[in-house]
Structure 1
């Protein structure tokens, strides 16, 4: 699946995550800024990468700003952003 245009989903509210996707040709790159980066940064990146792989996205640049979102919220925001970018 190819993302044709920049897209975004989510908010900067507490317990949410703001996901911005930009087309890329260099695989999956995740730039994460999180209030819980030290504790959960790797887990958040893994959730984002797995959801992208499930959806068939192989090349994308992700800018994620996390405010303490749970896994199901992260997956939903990634899915919404991918759908908007098609």
Structure 2
């Protein structure tokens, strides 16, 4: 699946994550992450985002994520919602 339009999901509230998906003209999946806990959990957050996109069959997208302490299931839900909104 290719992302053809910008889509958003989530909030900037505590324990949530705000996800923006955009088309990537250069190909591949790129993740830009801002987080309060990036030093401790940044790699795990990126992995969860990428794994969810791969499971959904998404290719060629740029992800901008602003994390406020979201747990894995919240991250997955926000990414899935943004993907569905991009269809």
TM-score range, shorter chain: over 0.9
3-state SS of paired residue (1:62): strand
RMSD: 0.6
Looking at structure 1, the residues matched to 66 and 18 of structure 2 have their Cα atoms a distance apart, in angstroms, of 5
Q: Structure 1 stretches (4+) deviating beyond 2 angstroms? A: none
TM-score normalised by L of structure 1: 0.98
- 1:5 is matched with 5
TM-score normalised by L of structure 2: 0.97
How many residues end up aligned between the 2 structures? Answer: 86
Structure 2 runs not aligned, ≥5 long? none
Kindly state the Cα deviation for residue 2 of structure 1 after the two structures are TM-superposed.
Answer: 1.1
